[in-house]
Chain A
Amino acid sequence: EAGVVQSPRYKIIEKKQPVAFWCNPISGHNTLYWYLQNLGQGPELLIRYENEEAVDDSQLPKDRFSAERLKGVDSTLKIQPAELGDSAVYLCASQTWGEDTQYFGPGTRLTVL
């Protein structure tokens, strides 16, 4: 089966510009996660969706970050405006109810200049 798909794989923008990342989870997976991974660190949760509902967004910096999963399938994570410190890899993961395993996408590497 196809894995978690993310695009773009790489993005370079100037600070103060907006940027958006897209994630398509594994078919049938109800739960979707967005993680932030800084260089040399483990992934840190930004937001978790159960279908279209954001059930844990306590780690999402809501002043500049937003996310949506309108139809409970694909998801978009947006940053506006981007700051230098946002340079990182943004990972999407999905999971199906009743199972523990989270499957990760390849990530989007963001560089803010």
Chain B
Amino acid sequence: GENVEQHPSTLSVQEGDSAVIKCTYSDSASNYFPWYKQELGKRPQLIIDIRSNVGEKKDQRIAVTLNKTAKHFSLHITETQPEDSAVYFCAASNPNTGTASKLTFGTGTRLQVTL
């Protein structure tokens, strides 16, 4: 089955700096890679996702890059703000195979943005 590794486990940046979180996956058939943000005690919320037919996707201060050959993808947050502080999870799945569309999550990165 799929295995997703995520680094770093914790990340502290100063407000206004950039943050980068990296994930690797093992199943070359995976083709959908979402990123979820989870604030303390709250539900995971999708912030951006990418499919394997593109290499990069951007939404305001958030971007995701995908390297299919190396089987890794990264989340980039620019101009970080205190409200970006949360735990971020990457995930991978293969939605085109019917019953195999479950998400496999990484172990999470706790991002702290300091003033």
Contacts and interface: CB of A to CB of B under 8 A. Distances in A.
A91 B44 contact: yes
B102 A100 contact: no
Interface string B94-115: 0100010011011110000000
Contact of A101 (B43, B49, B107, B108): B49
9 contacts: A40-B108, A42-B105, A42-B108, A48-B102, A56-B102, A91-B43, A100-B51, A101-B49, A103-B46
Interface residues of B, number: 23
Interface residues of A, number: 21
A21 interface: no
A12 interface: no
A55 B99 contact: yes
Contacts, number: 50
Contacts of B51: 100
B91 interface: yes
Contact of A45 (B42, B89, B103, B106): B103
B28 interface: no
A50 to B, nearest CB: 8
A104 B105 CA distance: 14
A42 B4 CA distance: 10
Interface in A84-103: 91, 100-103
A105 interface: yes
A101 B89 contact: no
B95 A43 contact: no
B8 to A, nearest CB: 13
